[in-house]
Amino acid sequence: MWPPTNPPQKLHFVSIPSSKATQYKKSLIDKYGNSDINEAEVIICIGGDGFMLETLHNYLNYHIPIYSINFGSVGFLTNPKIPLERDLPAILHQAQPTYLHPLSMTAYTADGKTHTALAFNDIFLYRQTRQAAKIQIITNDEIRLSELICDGIIVSTPAGSTAYNLSAHGPIVPLNSELLPLTPICPFRPRRWKGALLPSSTSIQFLTIEEQKRPIAAVADFTEIRDVTKVFVKENKKIKSEILFNPGHELSERIVTEQFTA
Measured CA to CA, the distance from residue 134 to residue 127 in angstroms comes to 9
27 is in an annotated binding site: no
168 is in an annotated binding site: no
Count Cβ neighbours within 10 Å for each residue of 110-143 and write b for 16 or more, e otherwise: eeeeebebbbbbbbbbbbeeeebbbbbbbbeeee
CB atoms within 10 A of CB 201: 11
Catalytic residue among 49, 141, 221, 227: 49
166 is in an annotated binding site: yes
Nearest to 90 by CA among 22, 16, 11: 11
30 is in an annotated binding site: no
Query: Is 49 designated active site?
Result: yes
What residues contact residue 64 under an 8 Å CB cut-off, 6+ apart?
12, 37, 40, 41, 42, 43, 242
159 is in an annotated binding site: yes
Longest CA–CA separation in the chain, Å: 60
Rounded to 5 degrees, φ, ψ at 207 are -115, 130
48 is in an annotated binding site: no
Query: Do 83 and 227 contact (CB within 8 A), yes or no?
Result: no
6 is in an annotated binding site: no
121 is in an annotated binding site: yes
70 is in an annotated binding site: no
165 is in an annotated binding site: yes
Residue ranges of the annotated binding site for NAD(+) are 49-50, 121-122, 151, 159, 162-167
- Going by the annotation, the residues of the binding site are 49-50, 121-122, 151, 159, 162-167
Q: Which residues are catalytic, by number?
A: 49
